[in-house]
Structure 1
Amino acid sequence: MSDPPQEGAGTPREEGRSLTVAEAATVMRVSKLAVHRMVRSGALPAIRTGRSQRIPRQAVHDYLTGTAAKLGSFG
């Protein structure tokens, strides 16, 4: 028997194109409630599948990059 795949880099879960709210919150270092608020306000796009929401990985990257650019422009 082969060993079950480990979570981490290179696994299908890691290479997916969308994140759960909890995963997005971890990546962004904010609470799940904050991610839900960003989705509700339209600041972060999400795809609803049943009762859950999936956030495109690229959208999280774009949000973080845009936020960092805004913070860097104060100097």
Structure 2
Amino acid sequence: MTLAVPESPRRAEPLLYKVSEATGILRLSRSVIYELIRSGRLRTVQEGRARRIPRSAINEYVALLEREAGESE
């Protein structure tokens, strides 16, 4: 008798990222991420004492960069 190994379900992308995770996603340094947060270019949320970056905020930031690149052309 052969047992079938079930396929593992795909892990859903997280909705909130730590700053350290956002550095990997955006390929930016920790200090640049914090400067973007301070300047209001990258939105964050507070969960208790932890600051998190919503996936939607990362998408919004990339869209902002694309718009700015289009304006300079």
Instruction: Report the equivalent of 1:10.
Output: 10
Instruction: Report the equivalent of 1:42.
Output: 40
| Corresponding position: 1:61 with 2:54 | no
Q: Aligned partners of 2:57 and 2:33: how far apart in 1? A: 12
Instruction: Report the equivalent of 1:73.
Output: 71
Instruction: Report the equivalent of 2:4.
Output: none
Instruction: Report the equivalent of 1:32.
Output: 30
Q: Give TM-score scaled by structure 1 length.
A: 0.70
Q: Give TM-score scaled by structure 2 length.
A: 0.72
Unaligned runs of 5+ in 2: 1-8
Q: What is the number of residues matched between the two proteins?
A: 65
Shift of the alpha carbon at 1:73?
A: 3.4
4+ residue runs over 2 A deviation: 9-12, 48-52, 72-75
Q: Aligned partners of 1:34 and 1:52: how far apart in 2? A: 18
Q: Aligned partners of 1:37 and 1:58: how far apart in 2? A: 18
Report percent identity of matched pairs: 29
The structure number with the bigger radius of gyration is: 2
